[in-house]
């Protein structure tokens, strides 16, 4: 655990119940929690270091993700893709072609950077259909999506980006 986590008070039983319910997709347990036990900022990292949406993605709980979304949590294109909402991502890119350019991944990279860095050619193809600006540089390492694909040696992803340029 990081030092910042040790500096915070231990989680309350309600906070533990919240995270466990998210991870199980237990909507009854989520709905039973008192309102003051729920996060005031749905997009802020919890003590575990993950946001509530990230917990639902990691535990593959789309029901919990929908519950969080109804409570105003932000679901990025990459979150939606990872939770299995691929048709939603396709519809979003079709209706908002530049959505792949948003610095929505920890505020420092775009879905394009993430897809390229992962070598996720399927997601990358969906995002490239929106004809995004491929010269955008991430805010952490100053790399383009092509740089990310190349540095991680995802040759197929790099070729997709080159072909789209």
Give dist(CA 5, CA 22) in Å, integer.
20
Least trusted range by pLDDT, from 64-68, 80-84, 102-106? 102-106
Q: What is the mean pLDDT of residues 49-70?
A: 96
Assigned token pair, 37: 């036990």
Closest to 162 in 3D by CA, of 140, 135, 138: 135
**Full-model pTM:** 0.89
Assigned token pair, 61: 């709980």
Closest to 116 in 3D by CA, of 137, 95, 96: 137
**How confident is residue 43, by pLDDT bands cut at 50, 70 and 90?**
very high
Count of other CB atoms within 10 angstroms of residue 95: 9
What's the pLDDT tens digit per position in 120-154? 999 999 999 999 999 999 999 999 999 999 999 99
User: What are the CB-based long-range contacts (under 8 Å, 24+) for 1-9?
Assistant: 1/49, 2/49, 5/47, 5/48, 5/49, 8/47
3-state secondary structure 92-137: HHHHCHHHHHCCCECCCECHHHHHHHHCCHHHHHHHHCCCCCCCCC
């Amino acid at each position: 655990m990081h030092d910042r986590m040790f500096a915070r008070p231990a989680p309350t039983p309600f906070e533990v119940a919240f995270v466990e319910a998210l991870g199980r997709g237990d909507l009854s347990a989520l709905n039973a929690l008192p309102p003051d036990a729920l996060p005031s900022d749905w997009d802020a990292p919890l003590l575990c270091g993950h946001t509530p949406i990230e917990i639902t993605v990691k535990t593959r709980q789309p029901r919990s993700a929908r519950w969080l979304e109804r409570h105003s949590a932000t679901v990025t294109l990459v979150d939606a893709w990872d939770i299995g909402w691929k048709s939603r991502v396709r519809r979003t890119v079709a209706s908002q072609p530049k959505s792949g350019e948003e610095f929505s991944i920890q505020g420092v990279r775009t879905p394009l950077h993430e897809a390229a860095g992962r070598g996720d050619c399927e997601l990358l193809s969906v995002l490239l259909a929106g004809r995004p600006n491929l010269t955008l540089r991430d805010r952490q390492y100053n790399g383009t999506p092509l740089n990310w694909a190349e540095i991680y040696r995802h040759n197929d992803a790099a070729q997709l980006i080159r072909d789209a340029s």
